[in-house]
Amino acid sequence: MSEENEIHYGFCHCGCGKKTRISQENHKTFGYIKGEPRRFIKGHQSKRDSKLRFWEKVDKRGPNDCWEWTGTTQLGYGHINRKGKRIGANRFSWEIHNGPIPDGLFVCHNCPGGDCRACVNPAHLWLGTHGDNMRDMFEKGTNPFGEQSGASVLLESQVKEIRLRYAQGGISHRALAAGYDVSKSAISSVIWRRTWKHIP
């Protein structure tokens, strides 16, 4: 076959047998390489066996090492789409190796070198209640708080300023809330130490 008549396509990796187009550009997120066939037809990646997709994103090492998730993460925890729904990579790993997770239980980490949120090694996972998980995090000091928390809006320096300004008098919770662009309840929690308890 001559080069100009050469067929330029690949086959969808989901196993449907349909032809994929040649990528006209590099696209790291979708794994496109310019001049090479795309791996999937649009929307077909989710049809592919979720276990195969899972293992492609795992840096599997020795049996006692952390097996780190190399795919998408949020706050350090991996996740994967299964049947159109997002599931934690650690939960998915537990289900692959141990079966369904009972309602109300969390998949927690117990990594030998210190808990690694991206780890999916089943030997480093255990099931516990929400209370078990919270106690484990506090005992290990792995719970994000203050500026390390993904939900944090204020900085530690601002928390100190708020408490100092309020202690000096002459300013309301409402005025502080407006000045720091947070809710009045957030200011009240800072002042009465319901939050940011670790800041003196």
- Encode the chain (200 residues) as per-residue pLDDT tens digits: 334 334 456 777 666 678 888 888 887 666 778 888 887 777 666 555 678 889 889 999 999 999 999 988 887 889 988 777 889 999 999 999 999 999 989 999 999 888 898 999 999 999 999 888 778 777 766 554 455 444 457 888 888 899 988 888 889 999 999 988 888 988 998 899 888 777 77
The model's pTM: 0.51
- Residue 147 CA to residue 22 CA, distance in Å, equals 45
What is the model's pLDDT at position 6? 44
* Residues 154 and 182 sit within 8 Å (Cβ to Cβ): yes
Long-range contacts of 7-10 (CB under 8 A, 24+ apart): 8/37, 9/37, 10/36, 10/37, 10/38, 10/39
Phi/psi zone of residue 181: left (φ > 0), alpha (ψ -120 to 50 degrees), beta? left
- The parent domain of residue 119 ranges over 50-143
Q: Is 161 found in the same domain as 126?
A: no
The Cβ of residue 183 has, within 10 Å, a number of other Cβ atoms equal to 12
pLDDT of amino acid 59: 94
Regarding whether 120 and 171 lie in a shared domain, the answer is no
Residue 75 is predicted with a pLDDT of: 75
**59 & 134 share domain:** yes
Both 34 and 117 in one domain: the answer is: no
CA atoms within 13 A on the CB side of 63: 0
Number of structural domains found in the chain: 3
Same domain, 92 and 161: no
Q: How many CB atoms lie within 10 A of CB 14?
A: 19
Does the residue 118 lie in any domain? yes
Asked if the structure places residue 196 within a domain, the reply is no
Statement to judge: residues 56 and 134 lie in one domain = yes
Read off the CATH number of the domain in which 138 is found.
3.90.75
Quick one: 84 and 119 in the same domain? yes
Q: Is residue 198 part of a domain?
A: no
Q: Are residues 136 and 85 in the same domain?
A: yes
Domain for residue 133, yes or no?
Answer: yes
Residue 72 corresponds to which amino acid?
T
